[in-house]
Structure 1
Amino acid sequence: MHKKVITGIVIGILLFSLAVSMAFRGNAGRTDQNAGTGEQIAIVRIEGTIMSSAPGGFGSAGVASSERIVSELKEARENPDIKAVILKLNTGGGTVVGSDEIGREVERVRKAGKVVVAAMGEMAASGGYWVSCKADKIVANPGTFTGSIGVIMQLTEMEDLFKKLGIEVNNITTGPYKDMGSSNKELSPAEREIFQALVNDTYEEFIKVVAEGRKMDPVKVRKLADGRIYTGKQAKQLGLVDELGDFNDAVRITAELAGIKGEPELIEMTGEKFLWQEILGGLQGKNQLIPVPLEGLLLLPNKVVAPMNSNVQ
Structure 2
Amino acid sequence: MKKRPILLATLTIFGIFLVFLLLAVVLGKNWSTPDIVSLGEKIGVIEVNGPITASDGLIKNLIDFRDNKSIKAVILRIDSPGGAVGPSQEIYSEVVKLQKIKPVVVSMGSVAASGGYYIAAPAKRLFANPGTITGSIGVIMSFPNYEGLMEKVGVSSTVVKSGRFKDIGSNSRPFTPDERILMQALIDDVYSQFVEAVSLGRDIPANKVREIADGRIFSGRQALAVGLIDELGGFQDALAYTAKLTGLEDDPTLIYPEVEQPGLVERILKSALGEIGFEAGHHWTVGPQYLWTGM
The aligned residue for residue 101 of structure 1 is 90
Q: CA deviation at 1:273?
A: 4.4
Is 1:41–1:83's contact at 8 Å kept on the other side of the alignment? yes
Quick one: distance in 2 between partners of 1:97 and 1:224?
23
Which of the two has higher C-alpha Rg?
2
The aligned residue for residue 286 of structure 2 is 295
Write out per-residue CA displacement over residues 145-176 of structure 1, whole angstroms, 9 at most, x where no aligned residue. Answer: 00000000111111111111111111111111
Q: 1:293 to 1:166 in 2, by over 3 A?
A: farther
Letter in 2 for 1:304: G
Task: State TM-score, norm by structure 1.
Answer: 0.77
Q: 1:78 to 1:135 in 2, by over 3 A?
A: same
The aligned residue for residue 3 of structure 1 is none
The aligned residue for residue 85 of structure 1 is 74
Q: 2:138 aligns with which of 140, 150, 171?
A: 150
Quick one: distance in 2 between partners of 1:18 and 1:224?
51
Q: CA deviation at 1:292?
A: 5.3
Write out per-residue CA displacement over residues 11-38 of structure 1, whole angstroms, 9 at most, x where no aligned residue. Answer: xxxxxx999976653x43x236xx7x82
The aligned residue for residue 15 of structure 2 is none
Is 1:44–1:270's contact at 8 Å kept on the other side of the alignment? no
Q: CA deviation at 1:260?
A: 2.8
Q: 1:293 to 1:175 in 2, by over 3 A?
A: same
The number of aligned residues is 265
Q: CA deviation at 1:254?
A: 1.5
Matched, 1:31 2:36: yes
Greater helix share, 1 or 2?
2
Partner of 1:49, secondary structure, is coil
Letter in 2 for 1:300: L
Q: CA deviation at 1:293?
A: 4.3
Is 1:85–1:117's contact at 8 Å kept on the other side of the alignment? yes
Partner of 1:132, secondary structure, is coil
Unpaired runs of 5+ in structure 1?
Answer: 1-16, 52-64, 306-313
Q: CA deviation at 1:202?
A: 0.8
Quick one: distance in 2 between partners of 1:290 and 1:137?
36
Letter in 2 for 1:294: T
Q: 1:208 to 1:180 in 2, by over 3 A?
A: same
Quick one: distance in 2 between partners of 1:24 and 1:230?
41
